[in-house]
Amino acid sequence: MTDHDAILVGSGINSLACAALLARGGWDVCVLERSEHLGGAIQTAELTDPGFQHDVFSAWHPLWVGGAAHTELGDELAARGLEYRNTEYPTATLYPDGEAAFLLRSADANAEELDRHVAGDGAAWRRVLDGFVPNADLAFGVLGTELWSRDGLALGLKAYRRLGRRGLVELTGNVLASSRDWLTSTFASERAHGLLAPWVLHTGLGPDAALSGFMTQVIVVAIQEGGMPIPRGGGARLVDALVQLIRDHGGVCETGRDVDRILVQDGEAVGVRLAGGENVTARRAVIANVTPTQLYGCLLEDEAPAFADGGRRFRYGRSAMQIHFALSEPPRWEGDERLARAAIVHLTPGLDGVSRAVNEAERGLLPAEATVVVGQPLTMDPSRAPDGAGLLWIQLQELPWHVKGDAAGELDTKSGTWTEELRERYADRIQARIAAQVPNLESAIRKRVVLSPADLQAANINLRHGDPYSGSLALDQNLLWRPFPASPGHATPVRRLWQIGASTHPGPGLGAGSGTLVARGLLEPPLLQRIRRRVGR
Other Cβ atoms less than 10 A from the Cβ of 323: the count is 22
Q: How does residue 537 score in pLDDT terms, banded at 50, 70 and 90?
A: very low
Q: Is the pLDDT of residue 446 over 80?
A: yes
Give the span between the Cα atoms of 242 and 384, in whole angstroms. Answer: 21
- Provide the percentage of residues in the chain whose pLDDT is more than 70: 98
What does the pLDDT read at residue 78?
98
Q: Is the pLDDT of residue 15 over 70?
A: yes
Q: How does residue 526 score in pLDDT terms, banded at 50, 70 and 90?
A: low
What does the pLDDT read at residue 474?
96
Residues near 527 by Cβ (< 8 Å), separated by ≥ 6?
Answer: none
Give the span between the Cα atoms of 199 and 344, in whole angstroms. Answer: 11
Give the span between the Cα atoms of 55 and 59, in whole angstroms. Answer: 5
Give the span between the Cα atoms of 466 and 420, in whole angstroms. Answer: 15
Q: Is the pLDDT of residue 536 over 70?
A: no
What does the pLDDT read at residue 305?
86
- Tell me how far CA of residue 471 lies from CA of 5, 290, 443, in angstroms: 30, 11, 38
**Residue 295, SS3?**
helix
What does the pLDDT read at residue 525?
79
Question: What value does the mean pLDDT take over residues 235-248?
Answer: 98
Q: pLDDT tens digits, residue range 294-348? A: 999 999 988 888 898 889 999 999 999 999 999 999 999 999 999 999 999 999 9
What does the pLDDT read at residue 393?
98
Question: What value does the mean pLDDT take over residues 160-180?
Answer: 92
**Mean pLDDT of all residues belonging to the chain:** 95
Q: pLDDT tens digits, residue range 51-107? A: 999 999 999 999 999 999 999 999 999 999 999 999 999 999 999 999 999 999 999
Question: What value does the mean pLDDT take over residues 4-19?
Answer: 98
- Provide the percentage of residues in the chain whose pLDDT is more than 90: 91
Question: What value does the mean pLDDT take over residues 394-409?
Answer: 98
Give the span between the Cα atoms of 217 and 187, in whole angstroms. Answer: 13
Q: pLDDT tens digits, residue range 280-308? A: 999 999 999 999 999 999 999 888 888 98
User: Buried (b) or exposed (e) across 13-50, using 16+ Cβ within 10 A?
Assistant: bbbbbbbbbbbbeebbbbbbbbbebbbbbbbbeebbbe
pTM, two decimals, is: 0.95
Q: Is 412 exposed, middle or buried (0-12, 13-18, 19+ CB in 10 A)?
A: exposed
Instruction: Judge contact between 11 and 238, C-beta under 8 A.
Output: no
What does the pLDDT read at residue 369?
98
Q: pLDDT tens digits, residue range 16-30? A: 999 999 999 999 999
Q: Is the pLDDT of residue 535 over 60?
A: no
Tell me which of 440 and 534 has the higher pLDDT: 440
Q: Is the pLDDT of residue 529 over 70?
A: no
Q: Are strands 365-366 and 2-9 parallel, antiparallel or unpaired?
A: unpaired
Residues near 153 by Cβ (< 8 Å), separated by ≥ 6?
Answer: 535
Q: Is the pLDDT of residue 211 over 50?
A: yes
What does the pLDDT read at residue 530?
58
Give the span between the Cα atoms of 257 and 71, in whole angstroms. Answer: 31
Q: How does residue 527 score in pLDDT terms, banded at 50, 70 and 90?
A: low
What does the pLDDT read at residue 304?
86
Give the span between the Cα atoms of 386 and 508, in whole angstroms. Answer: 32
Q: Which CATH architecture has domain 2-42+65-84+233-315+470-536?
A: 3-Layer(bba) Sandwich (3.50)
